Amino acid sequence: MSLRVGFMGTPAFAVPTLQAIVAGGHDVAAVYTQPPRQAGRRGLTLTPSPVQVAAEQLGLAVRSPINFRDPADVESFEALGLDVGVVVAYGLLLPQAILDAPRFGCLNGHGSLLPRWRGAAPIQRAIEAGDAVTGMMVMRMEAGLDTGPVALTAETPIGETETAGELHDRLADICARLMVEALAKLEAGTLTFEDQDTLAARTGREPVYARKLTKAEAAIDFGGEAESIARKINAFAPAPGAFVEMTLGGPTERVKILRARAEAGSGDAGTTLDDRLLVACGTGAIRLLELQRAGGRPMPAEEWLRGTAVAAGTGLVAAGTP
């Protein structure tokens, strides 16, 4: 036997789960994803989402409603006769009629240890906050934001200098395995759920909102505490990318810092303490491990320094910036 599934997802994070569901022999009746977006330097090219590309390669029907305010979109979803909806990073709020349409409701793959880090950026905020462990959860969706009861959990440690991009890819693979397990249990009638209030009481995890990252947050202020700055840099990589305005013997340029590690050291904030990009902070110091100039590619610090020597005592921060 197999389940009749409606899949909803948009970014690359959701692709492994879609592929795993198909490989597991389930009948994916339709794939819902956000409409193609304008891309290219002039925004003239419409680019389909990674999920749409993957779905078309698998020969699956793709639907891209702008939202579900049109009753016809709700009716066409209901007409699919689904056993279950699977939602992974779809990016649209689903009305109750959609959540209720499948026989077993809708399951969501969420990249945190709920109820901690509900919201748009759970992977990044977990790194920024210094969480030692995060994970994937499969929950049953309800009207609230990431508040539904949880069925399955898979925990994973966060590395000292692991970036959000690396953790994102690892969690995407974990999500695929976990969702396939959830569907197997759902089909067998053995999938059970735990209310998040009970889960919070059992684990001590309090609800925290993972607000969306903004470019305004991305500027690095070396006047802060080294560990916090390093975590922020790793959390914001690869996008939007934490940055600093540098003046290195030429015009001021914006450089993204894509990986960093807190180390011992003291000095004037924003000043290098050696010739290998150890930078003093308000408290402690950080080692810059990966950088990217505007228009360039990401480079390990060693490679970056071969083209841009930075002596100890160099002030990296341009005047007028944090």
DSSP 37-96: EEESTTS-EEE--HHHHHHHHTT--EE--S-S-SHHHHHHHHTT--SEEEEES--SPPPH
Percent of residues, the chain, with pLDDT higher than 90: 87
320 pLDDT higher than 60: no
Closest CA to 26 of 51, 54, 56, 5: 5
Residue-wise pLDDT tens digits, 217-228: 999 999 999 999
199 pLDDT higher than 70: yes
pLDDT at 322: 57
Is cis: bond before 298, omega within 30 of 0? no
Residues at the binding site for (6S)-5,6,7,8-tetrahydrofolate are: 112-115
pLDDT at 40: 60
- Model confidence at 43, pLDDT cuts 50, 70, 90, reads low
Write down all domains in the chain, each with its CATH number in brackets: 4-210 (3.40.50.170), 215-307 (3.10.25.10)
Closest CA to 263 of 222, 230, 291: 230
Mean per-residue pLDDT for 77-98? Answer: 96
Tokens of 116: 């901690």
- Model confidence at 247, pLDDT cuts 50, 70, 90, reads confident
Query: Cβ(301)–Cβ(263) under 8 Å?
Result: no
Query: Cβ(115)–Cβ(95) under 8 Å?
Result: no
187 pLDDT higher than 90: yes
Mean per-residue pLDDT for 141-153? Answer: 94
Tell me the sheet residues that pair with 155. Answer: 135
- Model confidence at 316, pLDDT cuts 50, 70, 90, reads confident
- Model confidence at 44, pLDDT cuts 50, 70, 90, reads low
Among 60-74, 237-251, 264-278, the least confident range: 237-251
108 pLDDT higher than 60: yes
pLDDT at 248: 76
- pTM recorded for the entire structure: 0.93
pLDDT at 318: 58
Mean per-residue pLDDT for 196-209? Answer: 94
Other Cβ atoms within 10 Å of 29 Cβ, number: 17
pLDDT at 321: 59
Residue-wise pLDDT tens digits, 290-306: 999 988 999 999 999 99
Query: Cβ(257)–Cβ(291) under 8 Å?
Result: yes
Residues at the binding site are: 112-115
Q: What is the mean pLDDT of the chain?
A: 94
